[in-house]
């Protein structure tokens, strides 16, 4: 007789047996990410911190790789000394254009996609994924240097999404019913 594991609530004194699978450690390199979670927080500096107390954006970036799906955590500090890092992030997700000011729109962050370079960091015998840098997605950033291949892949994906026939259904349905765009 086969027994199936049933999901259920655990009691405070229950016995647990399943080990944590841990996260996927990505090979250092370039990846496309999607912001799956954004949380507003406050950074409180420690005694040796160079950054004063400030607002902080806690991001969870989902990255698909050959090994599976990895979640990479990254904090962005809302301080003038880290403004370049903020600009890099917003340029990566397509909100910031080169040499143009940007009022950060955090409402558009969750679900946004961009390109990133991942590096590994070891701490207490554990290896973690860290963001090394964000790649701008706008071609204006690459007038004096070559656009990285990962950014080209991201643009190809985004063009594919934009070309999807979402509006064609509405157009076809209205034409079948005898309506024309702008008729009303």
pLDDT at 67: 86
Residue 168 lies in a domain: no
pLDDT at 16: 80
Residue 100 lies in a domain: yes
Beta strands in the chain (DSSP E): 29-43, 54-65, 68-78, 113-123, 126-135
- Residues in the chain with pLDDT values less than 70: 1-6, 18-22, 161-184
Residue 94 lies in a domain: yes
Residue 171 lies in a domain: no
pLDDT in tens, 38-75: 999 999 999 999 999 999 999 999 999 998 899 999 99
Q: Which residues contact 149 (CB under 8 A, 6 or more apart)?
A: 30
Tally of domains within the chain: 1
**Euclidean distance between CA atoms 73 and 59, whole angstroms:** 6
pLDDT at 132: 97
Phi and psi at 83, nearest 5°, equal -60, -35
**Euclidean distance between CA atoms 81 and 51, whole angstroms:** 8
Residue 66 lies in a domain: yes
Residue 139 lies in a domain: yes
DSSP code for 141: G
Range of the domain at 95: 29-149
Residue 19 lies in a domain: no
pLDDT at 173: 42
pTM for this one? 0.75
Residue 135 lies in a domain: yes
């Amino acid at each position: 007789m086969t027994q199936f594991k049933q999901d259920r609530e655990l009691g405070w004194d229950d016995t647990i047996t399943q080990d944590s699978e841990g996260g996927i450690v990505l090979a250092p390199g370039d990846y496309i990410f999607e912001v799956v979670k954004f949380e507003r927080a406050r950074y409180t500096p420690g005694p040796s911190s160079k950054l004063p107390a400030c607002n902080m954006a806690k991001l969870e970036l989902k990255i698909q790789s050959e090994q599976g799906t990895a979640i990479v955590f990254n904090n962005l500090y809302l301080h003038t000394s880290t403004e370049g890092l903020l600009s890099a992030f917003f340029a990566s997700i397509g909100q910031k254009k080169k040499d143009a000011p940007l009022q950060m729109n955090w409402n558009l962050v969750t679900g946004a996609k961009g390109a990133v370079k991942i590096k590994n960091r070891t701490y207490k015998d554990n290896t973690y994924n860290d963001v090394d840098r964000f790649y701008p997605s706008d071609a204006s950033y690459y007038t004096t240097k070559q656009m990285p291949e990962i950014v080209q892949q991201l643009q190809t994906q985004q063009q594919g999404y934009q070309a999807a026939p979402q509006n064609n259904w509405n157009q076809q349905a209205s034409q079948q019913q005898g309506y024309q765009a702008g008729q009303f």
